[in-house]
Amino acid sequence: MNFEPRSELWAMTASQLRHLVRTKAASRREIVQAHLDRAAARNAAVNAIVEQRAEKALAEADAADRDSGDRSGLPLDGIPVSIKDTFDVTGMRHTEGIRSMAERVSPADAVAVARLRAAGAIVIGKCNQPDFQMRWNTVSDLYGPTRNPRDLSRSVGGSSGGDAAAVATGMAPLGLGADYGGSIRLPAAWCGIYGLRPTPGTIPSVAALPPLDAPPTIDVMASIGPLARSVEDLWTALQVMAGSDPRDPTCCDRPLTERRASRRPRVARMCRETGAHVDPEVEAQLDGTVRILADAGYEVVEAGIPEAERAPEVWAELVHTELLRSALPVWGELMGESGRHHIEQMAALFDLGADVGGFVAAFIERRAIARLTGEWMEEHPLVVAPVAGMTAPPLDYDYLLDRDSTLQLFDRMRSVVWVNALGLPSVALPNGIQIVGRRFREAEIIDAAACVELGLGPVRPAMP
């Protein structure tokens, strides 16, 4: 295994750092300190980490170094992680990016955070997100915008943009995000790293602060997952966090399937079938990705999921009707102007009205498309498609858009949200492409992503 020089511990992946810990080539304190130093040098430029945990992280690293004999089997021993603001971390603020919630402090860890820490990970900070996570851009009314470390004039995407920027910059080798409408995959793609959206119900969603329960679209479309600079790190983090918890009634206890199956599943190349507007440079990356997979022995065909154009529209109708009728009346006034305007403009395009019959009909249609797609994916187990129709846009690309511009934005995001609508797992690649798989078959998409990773080469941290 090849490593960066010792002065660049922050540039290593979690698996590389874990090897150093196991062989006693680096202490946990050295590793944590290197990432804290990296944050001190680079965070001001990108505004990724909004609350640091330096003293406690170093104290935990020191304690782990003293007790190293009891930690030999921990898969994330001494690995620094960043945590999206929306997840509870004991003693840290949980603000949702909202000014009036700026002093709210979590009394305990969310289950996903607790599982990372039980596996040996050390939380170094909380990361920025848009107001209530509801935006494809990370602009918080409380903390301001997060900038893309690959180009500071560009957006990191949203809503897990703070963690994507932190991982891309080398402030942490692992980040924790959530994906309800592309919120892991879009920031990963635009920041040039990897992001995994598992099947909903794989990692339990159990918070320490209210609201403890979610509306129906969250249950079937949202997913918690990791961001990293290597595919292997995504798999390790998934193994650590997966598994049921009695406090999440949607979560299932099922073993992750084995990786590296003897037979390569068929791959469907899917580009504009959803009605998505896709720029030529994104399509060129799609073609490069399928060539890598074909060279690795995958059979690649041109195909699209059933009802491909309706799937993203059904997502938009269900999510935005629910937001407009249920969520905005409760917390809309707490949001900043641009965040609220974004949601109201999108909701105006897709609102099904106050009659519950239309909402129920859309849910039934969603299930029908998911059923048809499930059958179709028995013949096409993997779908390779763009994450978004464009590369990282300017930082203010979604600021106070009018109706027509909002619709144009949605058309560029059609490739993102059909995955959420159907409750499928997906890996975002650093070249802006995603590999989508069958429900509960994360191993298949991880294997395919690992093949692409060999072709793309290692991800290098950004130098903002």
**In the prediction, which pLDDT does 4 show?**
41
Sheet holding 122-127, edge to edge: 49-52, 122-127, 80-84, 174-179, 223-228, 194-197, 426-428, 433-436, 382-386, 267-269, 300-302
In a domain? residue 86: yes
Q: How many structural domains compose the chain?
A: 1
27 as an active site residue: the answer is no
Q: Domain with 159 in it: what CATH number?
A: 3.90.1300.10
- Cα–Cα distance measured from residue 188 to residue 149, given in angstroms and rounded to the nearest whole number: 12
**In the prediction, which pLDDT does 3 show?**
41
Beta strands in 11-89 (DSSP E): 49-52, 80-84
**In the prediction, which pLDDT does 1 show?**
37
In a domain? residue 461: no
In the chain (464 residues long), the average pLDDT of successive 10-residue segments reads 59 97 96 98 98 98 93 95 98 98 98 98 98 97 98 98 98 98 98 98 96 94 98 98 96 82 89 98 98 97 98 98 94 96 96 95 98 98 98 98 98 98 98 98 97 98 94
In a domain? residue 84: yes
Query: Catalytic: which of 140, 155, 183, 338?
Result: 183
Cα torsion angle, 128, 131, 136, 137, sign: negative
- Cα–Cα distance measured from residue 52 to residue 71, given in angstroms and rounded to the nearest whole number: 25
24 as an active site residue: the answer is no
In a domain? residue 1: no
262 as an active site residue: the answer is no
435 beta partners? 384, 427
Which secondary structure element, helix H or strand E, spans residue 100, and what is its range? none
In a domain? residue 205: yes
**In the prediction, which pLDDT does 72 show?**
83
**In the prediction, which pLDDT does 254 show?**
80
Domain that residue 116 falls in: 6-456
Query: Catalytic: which of 15, 82, 84, 230?
Result: 84
Q: Are 339 and 136 in contact (CB under 8 A)?
A: no
Query: Catalytic: which of 140, 159, 223, 415?
Result: 159
In a domain? residue 423: yes
In a domain? residue 316: yes
In a domain? residue 328: yes
